[in-house]
Structure 1
């Protein structure tokens, strides 16, 4: 499945996760010769809740991917929220902009589906290709390609292209090589998850538990995040926790231990016990709220986790990875059509503005939200009282999941869209 590529292309995409595969697909569809470089080989595992909101579903449809149940996708109607001894089922809203359902699929299969779709569109995928750093023009400092090692023998190779998309995840070695470091004033989160065989595997709703203590008993401090149970439809459940702000008053929390303790407090017949665990507990960082900028500089565009594009409200990353990958591809395609170098660069420099226009105000609100729920008293009040106000919960549900129609829509759309326009787009 992996073929040695030629050493030149119109664009190089580093990383074949959701952002990279989506970027490569749309670049290829626009007629560009694109190299998609992946350091591992498919199938491969990634830490994720495996739940896809309507935002992600929209991007899958745009890539022409078969999302039918017959193709192995499990649909869900919305989110079941549990807090303060109460539960509420919130359906995905009926909108003109987004589908009215979500999906579930394991990441070890999901990412490969996207990468193979990019291949079908014409992208040249190379697996077992570890990018070690940028190739830069000595005179201008622009990126002109990447250095990499290929295969099990780690043979050094160099690939060249006038434009490169960094879709290489949170650590983004390529971004660091270009001098783009993570902003320390932006939130970082953490997620840990595992799988259990469980009778709860076939569920019409994703499930979120808002009360997540750091230890059992009355002395437990509520963490600024949530736990989840997502039925996979295959006899297993993805069970995990996401903490939206990891800046806690103590260092190095035992996240895996917290997840084990939380699972131990659930009903025994759900099967979330060590003997039913089908794999280890794994963890990953959640780079949120545009924590690496600028999103374009010197021929390099950032997408997905490399751009810090995770939603600060709920830790969702896949939808924003795919959206940013598609946007990067569209900007590159438009730039390639310009007749002069100055025109091409003007189009490329528009990418950070597009990102901020789409997400900037919303992510500013999200960062404020992270600070608020980092206060234990406020977090406890919200979890105890929230579900007793159904209309407020429905509005909060749409805000947290960023699901509105940008034009027209109902009163909730207009209020939420207005909020994102009133705050700075930073």
Structure 2
């Protein structure tokens, strides 16, 4: 019997495996896909997330950015980070760095599909297509629409408001040292520098449409990107995922599987990295019941700020978000740095 089985080999699962292996736990990661995994993601790591990444010993190549800028048709306001720089990094590059760090730490990576998880008083069993893996604990890091979470009946109704994310890479040199967030009537476009000759464009929206249709709402951005080659589009959603709790016996949820508000504030990966340490600490102490309380405490600021921003951003007040930020730049900078720290 091993100490920890991690279901899902994305950033949250690999971060959990790195901390667990370094803590002396015999750790196995089960992931059905091979190699670096891509997905719809803003790809901008806030300073808090970059510090967590350093603790994990992963050093992906990317492009630093100094802060966040909000833009609409008439305004531009910037907020510089007080606590260091962020890092724009392609998701596949980040995943490769974390995978290398997990293997170096001593975690075993198994390419297989998980069919189910069962548990008793002494251990949990991960049933895959080829074998059964018995472990003292299981970390479910199987994503936004986690089958493990659903099987454990830990989900809550997400509500009527539904938002989706789309991502595209464009072969153009970055023109800003900031992550630029463009606002239209019902959509945000996030421009993140990820390399010297590439930017990532992430769209967040409550309206399902093709990427070009959304981009048409931002003529200045569209014109800058016009004529430049781009990669394939990726999509994810609905984004909001509500969860009753993050533990069920010997199974603990981490990353997007643990619940998700929205990508509006860009702190998903930073929180996943921080939560992975809390999960491992609870396993080492043999006190899984501590994880729920610690997760809530660690994510409280993010959840409150993101819920507040989302409420405004999906209301008639949406049109005043960028003008208000431009009128009160110190308040805007304070909010950005609360999330960055």
1:189/1:398 CA distance change after superposition, 3 Å = farther
* 8 Å CA contact retained: 2:79, 2:329: no
Q: Map 1:18-417; keep pairs closer than 5 Å.
A: 18-66=11-59, 72-94=61-83, 100-127=84-111, 129-137=112-120, 144-149=124-129, 156-185=130-159, 189-199=163-173, 201=174, 203-209=176-182, 211-212=183-184, 222-223=185-186, 225-243=187-205, 246=206, 253-254=208-209, 256-262=211-217, 265-266=220-221, 268=223, 270=224, 272-273=225-226, 276-285=228-237, 287-288=239-240, 291-309=242-260, 313-335=264-286, 347-360=287-300, 362-376=302-316, 378-399=317-338, 402-404=339-341
User: After TM superposition, what 4+ stretches of structure 1 lie above 6 angstroms from structure 2?
Assistant: none
Aligned to 1:424: none
Kept after mapping to 1: 8 A contact 2:10/2:37: no
The offset of 1:80, in angstroms, is: 2.2
| Cα distance in 2, alignment partners of residues 84 and 282 from structure 1 | 26
* Cα offsets for 1:354-389 (capped at 9, x unmatched): 11122236414532432232113x111223332122
Task: Determine which structure has the larger strand proportion and give its number.
Answer: 2
Q: 1:147 to 1:186 in 2, by over 3 A?
A: farther
1 CA distance for matches of 2:288 and 2:267?
Answer: 26
Larger Cα-atom Rg: 1
- Using CA pairs under 8 Å that are at least 6 residues apart, name the structure with larger relative contact order, 1 or 2: 2
Question: Does structure 2 retain, via aligned residues, the 8 Å contact 1:33–1:123?
Answer: yes
User: What root-mean-square deviation, in Å, do the aligned CA atoms of Structure 1 and Structure 2 show?
Assistant: 2.4
In the other structure, the counterpart of 2:6 is 13
* TM-score, normalization by structure 1: 0.74
Is the contact between residue 264 and residue 310 of structure 2 (CA under 8 Å) also seen in structure 1? yes
Unaligned 5+ residue runs, structure 2?
none
Q: 5+ unaligned residues in a row in structure 1: which ranges?
A: 1-7, 95-99, 150-155, 213-221, 247-251, 336-346, 405-426
Partner residue, 1:421: none
Deviation at 1:40, TM superposition (A): 0.4
SS in 2 for 1:258: helix
> For the residues of structure 1 that align with 2:275 and 2:330, how far apart are their CA atoms?
32
Identify if the C-alpha distance between structure 1 residues 43 and 131 changes in structure 2 by more than 3 Å, giving closer, same or farther: same
